[in-house]
Amino acid sequence: MIRNNNRVGIICYLKPLTNEELQVVNRYWEINSSDPSKFAKKVDDIKALFPEIGIPSAFVSENSEFVITNDEFSCSKCGKMPKARNRTNYLAKLKKTNYVCDECQAIAIQLERQRKQEIINTYKNIIVSYKATLFEKDYDLSDLTYVEKISLFLILNSYYNNDKPLSITNENLDLSGSQDFDSKLFVDLAQKGCLVIVNDLPEEVQEAYDAIYGRYSRLHYDNGYNRSRYSETRDLAQGVYFNMPTQIEDISQVRTELYAHICASKISVSDIQQITQLVEDIRLANLYECINWLEKEEFRIPIEKTMKLDSLLKFVSKNYSLDKTYYSLWYHARETGAYIQKIGSRDFKTPRYFGKFLSDYFTKVKTKGWELKYTRSLPMDVNTSAIESLICELYFDDEFNWVSLTTTEIVSTWLKKLDITDTLLIENNKD
């Protein structure tokens, strides 16, 4: 039932009412003829006239609504007339300019959500396309060299953390103890597609990430472990990632297959060369760690690192164990310090004394057929590398490190445990 009220709007009755109830509703909605924002009757007066009704506002709200028919207040989208359930609601609608009804608001919200979702989907497609480009290079684990399989296995065991970046770089990867070897290995694994390096993102990709995730890049640095750690909400932060081979489903399968390849111990001629180079580089890195300790910590003497010293250390590594070699290094570092103190002056030749004394000594050792008898515990800075520990566990029954072995003995023992099809290579290595 509808009743015209005035020029502002009409009253709609939501259910049949008694005459007394109609009077309550009509008096409640009666608008001041000169000012549509004021009412002709006060609520308290209506309550006093009809006490049995209770609270007029509550009764009117349940049984009627006021429809504002003035075009000035209709919905700006669909032209629908606004409805009020009480006076407060009515006054609020009068104050609104450019009124939009609830239905049109809901449609507008839905359209805006769809628009934003389309934008997000566009950005996501940009990111997905970029990631596909980054990780498009496929490879087979069986195509990796023997040392690369060992190294990748250790990298995944130590640094893999789901889809987050590996906490390694070309500069801080430490598998062998030799920065030169590890750096080259890092580059080789990246070139073969095992590792993917994400540096500065292309402008459109960065814009897509900023739109979806914001500009926060929460990169922390763990000084205790000398590695970077990421806690980003985005799924592609800058860093180094492991690229999963397409034929493998999860990381556990990768680890299992790599370990199976390692234990199968099948190698090629190029593998032998890489193994030999690895062992030599590990030992050379150990010796330079010893020399750095003697130079900077124990005796504080200047020592010049030259190609001549490199060659001498490689010769020594092939013929003498690390603990015996370190005793010789320590002894001649002490003698060098005493000599520098004795002459009482330092000049451009001073850093060469250690190398000269050491070279002269090993020349005598070689020409006279002497044996090195004394050993010395290594400095605290000299640690067993991850590769050395793994290979000792797999192939060196009586050793947990290579300290008491020469590089020749290390390579020979290692290769004897591997499956080499060319028997001539084994015989040559025995010699």
Same domain, residue pair 240 and 319: no
- Which tokens hold the place of 242? 């492991």
Asked if residue 106 is part of any domain, the answer here is: no
SS3 of residue 198 by DSSP? strand
Looking at the fold, whether 276 and 413 belong to one and the same domain comes out as: yes
**Predicted structure pTM score:** 0.71
Does residue 409 share a domain with residue 292?
yes
Q: Does one domain contain both 396 and 290? A: yes
**H-helix or E-strand containing 128?**
helix 102-134
Last residue of a domain, one of 245, 260, 283: 245
Q: Judge whether 394 lies within some domain.
A: yes
376 assigned to some structural domain: yes
Are 275 and 222 in a shared domain? Answer: no
Clarify whether residues 72 and 147 are in a common domain.
Answer: no
Q: Which domain holds residue 228?
A: 133-245
According to the model, what pLDDT value does residue 217 have?
45
Question: Domain for residue 111, yes or no?
Answer: no
pLDDT tens-digit readout, 332-363: 999 999 999 999 878 889 999 999 999 999 99
Q: What share of the chain is helix, strand, coil (3-state, %, to 5)?
A: 55, 10, 35
Residues 279 and 233 in one domain: no
Residues 146 and 56 in one domain: no
Q: Does residue 113 fall inside a structural domain?
A: no
- Please tell me whether residues 289 and 236 are part of one structural domain: no
Q: 219 with 275, same domain? A: no
Alpha helices (runs of H) in 241-321, residue ranges in sequence order: 251-264, 269-293, 307-319
pLDDT in tens, 371-405: 999 999 999 999 999 999 999 999 999 899 999 99
pLDDT in tens, 288-311: 999 999 999 999 999 999 999 999
Q: For the chain, how many structural domains are there in total? A: 3
Cβ atoms of 101 and 75 closer than 8 Å: yes
Q: Give the pLDDT band (50/70/90) at residue 422.
A: low
Give, in order, the Cα–Cα distances in Å from 278 to each of 4, 177, 273, 391: 98, 10, 9, 12
Strands 9-13 and 2-4: antiparallel
